[in-house]
Amino acid sequence: MEKQRVSSLFSGHSQVFGGLSNECQLARVCPPQFKESDNAWSIYAETICSKKVDITKWKWKSLKRIEKISQVLCLYTILGTHGLMNQDTVAVAGWMLSEMLLEIPQ
């Protein structure tokens, strides 16, 4: 089940009016720890919303350039959605970051 949830994490497509095609499904299956107010990944996702971050300093899990690009596009698309409550948006974005990166950037 966990592997299936993670595989669908970056499978959504951008919608015409913003958001991901599977964002509601992702919000439903998002692990509960990312919805906690003290989750470091979700806090970093909120930081991305409020200020510019230097993604060239990120330490990626994947070495594949195309995979990194796809993941960043999904991340920024979910952060720009208006279809989810803010708590769900930040939780899903935090979850995405935890699957993309080796560590939380400083």
Is the pLDDT score of 1 beyond 80?
A: no
Average pLDDT estimate for 75-97: 95
pLDDT for the residue 70: 94
Average pLDDT estimate for 84-92: 96
pLDDT for the residue 2: 53
pLDDT for the residue 6: 59
Pairwise CA distance, residues 71 & 65, whole Å: 10
Is the pLDDT score of 61 beyond 70?
A: yes
Question: Residue 51 class from Cβ within 10 Å (0-12 exposed, 13-18 middle, 19+ buried)?
Answer: exposed
What is the DSSP code string of 14-67?
B-TTSSBTTHHHHHHHS-GGGGSTT-HHHHHHHHHHHS---GGG--BS---HHH
pTM of the model: 0.91
Is the pLDDT score of 3 beyond 70?
A: no
Three-state DSSP class for 101? Answer: strand
